[in-house]
Structure 1
Amino acid sequence: MDIQHYLQGKRQLINDHLPSFLAEKSIPGPLKDSMLYSLQAGGKRLRPILTLAVLDAFGKNSEAGLEAACALEMVHTYSLIHDDLPCMDDDDYRRGKPTNHKTFGEATAILAGDALLTFSFQMIAGSSTYTPVQKVALLTILSEASGAEGMVAGQAVDMESENQELTLEELQSIHERKTGRLLEASVLFGAVLADADAEEFERLGAFSRHLGIAFQIQDDILDVTGDSQLMGKQAGSDEHNYKSTYPKLLTLEGAKIQLAHHIKLAKDNLRKTKVDLVILEGITDYIVNRNH
């Protein structure tokens, strides 16, 4: 399989559907414009693609997962809007465009993030596609992954840890929550909608946890070695913000060794499942080899 072609097709499907969920909603103009500005700014769409890919790997109709997949992307987009704010990472560019607060002002950017987060739950709860049991499972996974014990916790500890020397275990704990938990939710969303059994659910969870750590390590590597134009944001921002990163802690070569370690563990867990491996292994390799 040509994984780039697969990713491009799924990315286009998601890009086509994302704005449609907001199109007929009675949202005040500037707020809707701000929400759509960041939703339509592009990006890899890795999280929603993972949900669809798991359904494909189980031999299910992946388009049945579009609402859940797009809800995940809304949560991810909200997190980027808030991360870019002056009170957090204070970034001027995201995906090659001025950040949301640079375009709409801080107040509207904050509200747009809030609106995207809450709308994601509304989408799942109001879906006519999912059963009540599936809705409860999806909402539980999403709230745990994105909330005070998940992504928000990771961001809070990340900010508290600026200008501090962290251990590898402390750094991994931050990234397991800040980045890994939403990636894990993406895979588990697909497992829920594919009606995976408990054993498959556990193995896919382990696969996704190592995948999430690998994704963050590669992000840290690209912050050192990447091209700002390709990444759509300023390279070296982690160093500028005095953040602990894998290359800073382990050296660049040590970070690459850790990346290979977690990719191996991700694939080892994936190969214990009964799903079609081609797509998910292809996405795993893409994470290692991406340049932005």
Structure 2
Amino acid sequence: MVYTWGVALNPDHLLTFVRVAQLGTLSAAASQLHLTQPAVSSQIKLLTQAVGEPLLKRHRYGVRLTPAGEGLLPHAAALERALAGARRYTAELHGLEHGALNIAASSTIAGALLPGVLATYHARFPGIELRVQQGNTGEVTALLLAANCELALIEGPASVSADVWQRVFRRDRLRLVVAPGHPLAGAGPLTPTDLSGLGLVWREPGSGTREVARAALAASNVPTREVLTLTGTEAVKEAVISGLGAAFVSELSVRREVESGRLICPLLHLPGLERELSILSAPDERLSKAVRVFLGMLQSEA
């Protein structure tokens, strides 16, 4: 045999070598690997040439390892274990036993919609790590565009490139909220003119809620006063409860406060307060299975 040391090792030849070493005969290895015996012999010959030393020596009942073969076997066996581990891990990923759900959501969605869906998801797939980042619509969109999440859930549409998929999964409406002692708390149906000069607590710039409410007021030519700007829906609701002014918030986010009487939602006829809740993502075929399954659950519960 001509040895050609330095030839690249073939992983398949190493795996065949492990099986021959374990079973002790080429025919047994061929049967287990679903190969012909000549094919096994050829692979062992090529591996021997690559190593540059004989790996097997024949005896009456089969083959045994040479010193070079004994030295190579632990490394070849480690390759076999690594491949088996990779196959198990891949199977577990397909079964959602491991992995991560990496998403971002605007404040309203994160606080009002996600908890229930995430609880259902976690109950079904406890091995999936849940990673949820929260911010306003602008911040969440930026996270997706910077590839810091796989999925972004935002309020309203976003201006994004054509390679970002955008789809509506639910509709929402903004409601005017006031504290029980506010002058508008007991008022009848309100018109835009009833809001003239109203002191408002606003969400921070970049918030979808802020943009929709300001656009609706501007379209009806309603002049208001900005009392305070705060970050996040919860901060705005607490400011209103404390009597600092009125505010526009998602009807999804004030159900508990309205039911408990801590906030009042006067009936208001102001066009433009409805909005879409949207999903931003890469095309479906580029999403992980963990995210694709979550998307299905989110859209079925919306």
- Decide which structure has greater helix share: 1
Q: TM-score, normalised by structure 1?
A: 0.22
Q: TM-score, normalised by structure 2?
A: 0.21
- Decide which structure has greater strand share: 2
Structure whose CA Rg is larger:
2
